[in-house]
């Protein structure tokens, strides 16, 4: 049996701890609940096949990650670990003007090609008129048309994280709250202090999000990850049932998704170089509000319930870091998921658990080496 400590209880660390516990191994999960951790602020769009990112290594891993979700959700349900709020609601990729409309066929073709190459959770995409798009998402304005992606999904980051932590606890994991400090790490083990108690473990999985380098500093290691602030607005729509409205994607970074019974989430700023700034700013609210109302003016009279601020752990090349730290083989890093951590995170955590157990990873992670 391998004794492992997981540092960081966001979606990545919670998943690693859950997988360790679910495979019968001893695991301690430590989290210090930093305000601004990304998982609870994240929107929750699970649709990598609709992404415009030009990173070849992202897609095969994302396909595995998306395939894992239904399996994970079913296992958590079996354990009675709580509702993840994972749901397949589809997505509308919207053109707001004629110039964008003319580009839709090429984008649909790109999605279809990905589907043929094995990307799950797209389904049979098709072009829909503005009227049909509005029948699915009544708050839409005068858009030019859209691509409908029937199998895109959403999840609530905080809920799936909590369910994985609850599941891990049920399976015997120890859950600690506090700050973990790395005292020593070699190839055959690591020593970590948590709030005055020292733990000697075989492996440590570092899933500390934007705080990863602070944890690694004592062993003189760092990865190219930095916080990227995101401000995201939650609106409530009174008596309107938004629970089956599809996700809205656009040609820009902005998007809209919904949760039942009447919540609409409009996101989000991408403030690269923000540091650990957690303020809600007029400029941030303006950009999120303008982008949302431009596409969906029917949201204008909703009630702004909250604005969440989260720090995405952003790598400098857009790919995550998953793997052992060279020269410190007991340390496995899993971070740097940037804007895609809710899609990739559960699978990344599962892969980190495989590495900690000395197993061959089930996905190709050669592009994600922490030392790159
Ligand atoms: C506004 C916004 C919208 C987003 N939308 C999406 C989306 O639609 N789809 C998508 O896929 N992704 C989305 N993301 C990205 C996603 O939320 C993140 O990539 C993901 O949550 C990162 O998870 P994590 O576990 O790596 O980090 P975090 O959730 O930040 O968790 C790290 C945890 O580690 C803890 N920690 C750190 N250091 C220590 C220590 N020394 N001891 C103990 N605990 C420690 C912290 O307290 C924290 O709880 C969004 C993010 C934001 C901010």
For 30-75, the pLDDT digits (tens) are: 999 999 999 999 999 999 999 998 899 999 999 999 999 999 999 9
Ligand 1 pocket test, pick from 42, 181, 334, 370 with the greatest ligand atom count within 8 Å of Cβ, gives: 42
Say how many Å lie between the CA of residue 156 and the centre of ligand 1.
13
Closest Cα to atom 51 of ligand 1: 42
Tell me the pLDDT of the chain averaged across its residues. 97
What atom of ligand 1 comes closest to residue 311's alpha carbon?
A: 53
Other CB atoms within a 10 A radius of the CB of residue 215 amount to 23
Q: How far apart are CA 244 and CA 43, in angstroms?
A: 16
Q: What is the pLDDT of residue 173?
A: 98
Q: Which of 1, 143, 144, 120 is nearest to 67 (CA)?
A: 120
If asked whether residues 20 and 149 sit together in one domain, one would say no
Evaluate whether residue 65 is within a structural domain.
no
- Rounded to an integer, the average pLDDT of 130-154 is 97
Q: How far apart are CA 347 and CA 217, in angstroms?
A: 26
Closest Cα to atom 22 of ligand 1: 341
If asked whether residues 145 and 32 sit together in one domain, one would say no
- Rounded to an integer, the average pLDDT of 156-164 is 98
If asked whether residues 210 and 146 sit together in one domain, one would say no
Angle at 299 between CA 293 and CA 304, to 5 degrees: 100
* CATH number, domain containing residue 145: 3.30.9.10
Q: What is the pLDDT of residue 253?
A: 86
Evaluate whether residue 245 is within a structural domain.
yes
Radius of gyration of the chain (CA): 20
* pLDDT tens, position by position, 346-369: 999 999 999 999 999 999 999 999
If asked whether residues 37 and 178 sit together in one domain, one would say yes
If asked whether residues 145 and 287 sit together in one domain, one would say yes
Q: What is the pLDDT of residue 258?
A: 98
Torsion 341-317-265-230 (CA) sign: positive
- Rounded to an integer, the average pLDDT of 81-110 is 97
| Residue where a domain terminates, one of 315, 330, 353 | 315
Omega into 77 within 30° of 0, i.e. cis?
no
In short, whether 39's Cβ falls inside 6 Å of ligand 1 is yes
If asked whether residues 165 and 311 sit together in one domain, one would say no
Closest Cα to atom 25 of ligand 1: 10
If asked whether residues 178 and 295 sit together in one domain, one would say no
Within the chain, where are the H helices? 11-22, 38-41, 58-78, 98-116, 130-136, 157-170, 212-216, 282-295, 341-356
Evaluate whether residue 187 is within a structural domain.
yes
Question: Which H or E run includes 133?
Answer: helix 130-136
Q: Which of 8, 55, 59 is nearest to 29 (CA)?
A: 8
In short, whether 15's Cβ falls inside 6 Å of ligand 1 is no
Q: Which of 307, 159, 154, 298 is nearest to 240 (CA)?
A: 298
If asked whether residues 148 and 239 sit together in one domain, one would say yes
Evaluate whether residue 76 is within a structural domain.
no
If asked whether residues 311 and 323 sit together in one domain, one would say no
In short, whether 34's Cβ falls inside 6 Å of ligand 1 is yes
Q: How many domains does the chain have?
A: 2
Cβ–Cβ under 8 Å, residues 172 and 1: no
If asked whether residues 162 and 311 sit together in one domain, one would say no
Evaluate whether residue 70 is within a structural domain.
no
In the sheet that holds 87-88, the strands lie side by side as: 45-46, 153-154, 87-88
Ligand 1 pocket test, pick from 10, 152, 196 with the greatest ligand atom count within 8 Å of Cβ, gives: 10
Closest Cα to atom 38 of ligand 1: 208
Q: What is the pLDDT of residue 1?
A: 65
Evaluate whether residue 148 is within a structural domain.
yes
If asked whether residues 211 and 236 sit together in one domain, one would say no
Residue written as tokens 């473990």?
A: 201
pLDDT above 80 (res 2): no
* CATH number, domain containing residue 208: 3.50.50.60
- Band of residue 204 on the pLDDT scale cut at 50, 70, 90: very high
What atom of ligand 1 comes closest to residue 14's alpha carbon?
A: 25
* pLDDT tens, position by position, 284-301: 999 999 999 999 999 999
Evaluate whether residue 77 is within a structural domain.
no
Evaluate whether residue 330 is within a structural domain.
yes
pLDDT above 90 (res 226): yes
- Rounded to an integer, the average pLDDT of 188-215 is 97
Say how many Å lie between the CA of residue 298 and the centre of ligand 1.
31
What atom of ligand 1 comes closest to residue 335's alpha carbon?
A: 26
Other CB atoms within a 10 A radius of the CB of residue 168 amount to 27
Instruction: Give the end-to-end CA distance of the chain in Å, rounded to a whole number.
Output: 31
Q: What is the pLDDT of residue 43?
A: 97
Q: What is the pLDDT of residue 136?
A: 98
SS3 category, 97: coil
Omega into 87 within 30° of 0, i.e. cis?
no
Identify the domain containing residue 257 by its residue range: 87-153+226-315
| Residue where a domain terminates, one of 270, 297, 315 | 315
| Residue where a domain terminates, one of 275, 291, 315 | 315
User: Global pTM?
Assistant: 0.98
- How far is residue 140 from each of residues 86, 144, 336, measured CA to CA in Å? 24, 11, 34
Say how many Å lie between the CA of residue 262 and the centre of ligand 1.
25
- Rounded to an integer, the average pLDDT of 76-85 is 97
Q: What is the pLDDT of residue 130?
A: 96
Report the DSSP pairing between strands 263-267 and 225-236: antiparallel
In the chain, count H helices and then E strands.
Answer: 9, 21
Report the DSSP pairing between strands 255-259 and 247-249: antiparallel
CB burial of 242-254 (b: ≥16 within 10 Å; e: otherwise) equals beebbbbbbbeeb
If asked whether residues 210 and 351 sit together in one domain, one would say yes
Task: Determine phi and psi for 63, rounding to 5 degrees.
Answer: -60, -45
Task: Determine phi and psi for 339, rounding to 5 degrees.
Answer: -80, 5
- Band of residue 273 on the pLDDT scale cut at 50, 70, 90: very high
């Amino acid at each position: 049996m391998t004794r492992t400590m997981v540092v960081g209880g966001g979606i990545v660390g919670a998943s690693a701890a859950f997988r360790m516990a679910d495979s019968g191994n001893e695991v301690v999960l430590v989290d210090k609940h930093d305000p601004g951790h990304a998982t609870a602020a994240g929107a929750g769009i699970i649709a990598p096949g609709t992404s415009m990112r030009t990173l070849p290594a992202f897609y095969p891993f994302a396909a595995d990650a998306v395939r894992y979700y239904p399996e994970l959700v079913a296992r958590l349900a079996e354990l009675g670990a709580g509702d993840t709020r994972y749901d397949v609601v589809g997505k509308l990729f919207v053109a707001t003007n004629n110039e964008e409309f003319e580009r839709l066929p090429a984008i649909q073709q790109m999605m279809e090609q990905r589907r043929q190459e094995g990307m799950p959770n797209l389904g049979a995409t098709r072009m829909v008129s503005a009227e049909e798009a509005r029948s699915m998402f009544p708050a839409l304005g005068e858009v030019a048309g859209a691509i409908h992606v029937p199998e895109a999904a959403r999840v609530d980051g905080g809920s799936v994280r909590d369910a994985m932590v609850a599941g891990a606890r049920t399976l015997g994991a120890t859950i600690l709250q506090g700050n973990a400090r790395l005292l020593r790490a070699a190839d055959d083990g690591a020593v970590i202090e948590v709030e005055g108690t020292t733990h000697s473990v075989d492996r440590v999985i570092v899933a500390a999000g934007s705080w990863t380098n602070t944890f690694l500093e004592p062993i003189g290691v760092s990865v190219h990850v930095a916080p990227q602030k995101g401000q995201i607005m939650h609106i409530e729509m009174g008596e309107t049932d938004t629970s089956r409205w599809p996700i809205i994607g656009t040609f820009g970074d902005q998007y809209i998704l919904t949760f039942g019974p009447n919540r609409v989430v409009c996101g989000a700023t991408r403030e690269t170089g923000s540091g650990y700034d957690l303020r809600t700013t007029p400029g941030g609210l303006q950009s999120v509000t303008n982008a949302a109302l431009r596409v969906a003016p029917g949201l204008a009279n909703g009630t702004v319930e909250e604005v969440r601020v989260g720090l995405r752990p952003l790598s400098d090349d857009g790919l995550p870091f998953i793997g052992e730290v060279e020269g410190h083989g007991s340390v496995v890093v899993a971070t740097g998921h940037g804007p895609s951590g809710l899609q990739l995170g559960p699978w990344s955590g599962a892969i980190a658990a495989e590495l900690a157990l000395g197993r061959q990873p089930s996905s190709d992670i050669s592009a994600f080496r922490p030392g790159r």
